[in-house]
């Protein structure tokens, strides 16, 4: 499989159990695909919600000695001051905005769409939500960070999502994306958004993965932000 966008397979989709009046677009982490998260979300599905788990394009990743793997953008390092892939992050966000537009064309208004993701996917979901002109219902950001954080608040100055609800979750024992990254991110988000709408939950003993308690918290957040409409 080559690295251009034409070769990315179609997203893994869990259709709504009844008429879809809302959607969750969830972005996987580095080196993964959408299938695992589609399975995880199926376990907490809400009947009127459609779940879309796209697959990242395959590209060389600097952090992993330029080995090719599914990645939303290049990662050069994992320290807070590591150089970032500016163009790659912005381009990836445009691609996600395109996915949101696609659902709007399918009849689900953007304000009935939650954007979410894990690790690199969570980072991209935060960046996209803060820089898009599409009004979103919320963001689920798991074990992640805010990319290009020094470009905020300027980058989000005209964002329509000033009052967006964010559920940010992090494992207290995460060795890859340390809890400190999550704490710094939540502080930054509260400084540029309505702080009352930014929720931060941590999980004792959890490493760089998910757990059932976290998934129940995600389900509750989805039910709150995407209530059923008749």
Residues recognised as catalytic: 119, 174, 208
Say how far apart CA 214 and CA 96 lie, in whole Å.
Answer: 24
> How big is the CA angle at 201 (ends 198 and 202), to the nearest 5 degrees?
145
Q: Which two tokens stand for residue 32?
A: 């993964």
Say how far apart CA 177 and CA 72 lie, in whole Å.
Answer: 16
Strand partners, 138: 114
30 burial level (CB within 10 Å; 0-12, 13-18, 19+): buried
């Amino acid at each position: 499989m080559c690295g251009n966008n034409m070769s990315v397979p179609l997203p893994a989709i869990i259709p709504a159990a009844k008429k879809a009046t809302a959607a969750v677009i969830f972005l996987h982490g580095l080196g993964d695909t959408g299938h695992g998260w589609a399975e995880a979300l199926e376990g907490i599905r809400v009947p009127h919600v459609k779940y879309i788990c796209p697959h990242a394009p395959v590209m060389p990743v600097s952090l992993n000695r330029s080995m090719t793997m599914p990645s939303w953008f290049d990662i050069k390092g994992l320290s807070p001051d590591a150089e970032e892939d500016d163009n790659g992050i912005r381009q990836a966000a445009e691609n996600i905005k395109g996915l949101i537009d696609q659902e709007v064309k399918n009849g689900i208004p953007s304000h009935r769409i939650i954007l979410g993701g894990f690790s690199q996917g969570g980072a991209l979901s935060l960046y996209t939500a803060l820089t898009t002109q599409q009004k979103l219902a919320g963001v689920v950001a798991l074990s992640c960070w805010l990319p290009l954080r020094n470009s905020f608040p300027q980058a989000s100055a005209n964002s329509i999502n000033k009052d967006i609800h964010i559920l940010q979750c992090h494992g207290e024992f995460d060795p890859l994306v340390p809890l400190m990254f999550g704490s710094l991110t939540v502080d930054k988000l509260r400084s540029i958004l309505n702080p009352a709408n930014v929720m931060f939950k941590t999980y004792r003993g959890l490493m760089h993965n998910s757990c059932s308690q976290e998934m129940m918290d995600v389900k509750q957040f989805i039910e709150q932000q995407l209530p059923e409409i008749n």
